[in-house]
Amino acid sequence: MNEQVPDRTAPPRRNADEMRVYGINACLALFAKRPHDLRKVYLLESRIPQFKAVLAWCVQKKLGYRVVGNTDLEKLTASQHHEGVCFEARKIPLPSLTALLQRLPRAPQPALLAWLDGVGNPHNIGAVLRSAANFGAAGVLLSADAAPGLSGAACRVAEGGAEAVPMARIAPGEDALGTLRNAGFTLAATVPHEGEALFASRLPPRLVFALGAEGEGLSRALIDRADLHLSIPGTGAVESLNVAASAAVLFGEYWRQRQHAAGARTPRR
């Protein structure tokens, strides 16, 4: 079924429960994880070979798809970085913290979470999700005042990580730290200075890394209530890494320590 873009002067309207996801890996991951949420497909002719299975699905399910030009995709995505493809798909509502924790292995099984305190930049959120997926984090928590949900830009930067790592929103007034501690988690606040050096620390198996927004950093209340305070060592040539780079380093060290611990428990033959 072939659908025409009805108005080339403005992006077609979409339902409130839908979002636009763009970028090759982001779209392929969405189709692999939840094809039934797909609603429409727009793509450049050059992308047809990569998306044959998607287009066949559209034909089978009588979903609209359209081969469009670059200008159309820029209007649809409000971005020049669409990579030649855009999906309209059903949004996934962000679950509560309690709902996310119910999906995780129970204590004392290892699990890693990231708490983004005031982080709202979609590119930073996407980069954190990409690193979280690579290093096996179990979820990402958004503060109550964060954006209402994932954006297309965040999904593109995540390169498929948005489909691999669940996100949850902390409710206004919720005692999130108490809930996390009851589930066996330790909260580690990441601070630029005066924290324990990350690579010299022994990270607990059930851990939440709390990361703050650019400029403001972590809230004072969260720093004061944290169980650990960690700093990423470096040359001192810059004050600190940005939130996305910090997350990648933190997740990588957690992964390294857990792999080492698993290796130590494996009996030698």
3-state secondary structure 7-48: CCCCCCCCCCCEEEEECHHHHHHHHHHCHHHEEEEEECHHHH
pLDDT confidence of residue 5: 43
pLDDT confidence of residue 143: 87
* Least confident window among 72-81, 173-182, 241-250, 258-267: 258-267
pLDDT confidence of residue 234: 92
The model's pTM: 0.91
134 neighbors 251 (Cβ within 8 angstroms): yes
CA atoms within 13 A on the CB side of 103: 14
Question: What is the token pair recorded at 19?
Answer: 């979002």
pLDDT at 2 over 90: no
Q: Which residues pair with 153 in a beta bridge?
A: none
76 neighbors 42 (Cβ within 8 angstroms): yes
DSSP 8-state code for residue 198: G
Pick the most confident of 37-46, 90-99, 191-200, 237-246.
Answer: 37-46
CA distance 203 to 188: 9
pLDDT at 58 over 50: yes
CA distance 49 to 71: 21
Q: How far is the CA of 86 from the CAs of 23, 48, 71, 79, 147, in angstroms?
A: 7, 12, 12, 11, 21
Average pLDDT over residues 62-69: 97
Pairing of strands 18-22, 85-90: antiparallel
CA distance 21 to 5: 17
CA distance 64 to 113: 38
pLDDT at 1 over 60: no
* Least confident window among 3-12, 41-50, 57-66, 233-242: 3-12
Amino acid letter at 248?
A
Ordered alpha helix ranges (H), the chain = 24-33, 52-61, 70-77, 97-103, 122-134, 152-158, 161-164, 176-182, 220-225, 243-265
pLDDT at 11 over 60: no
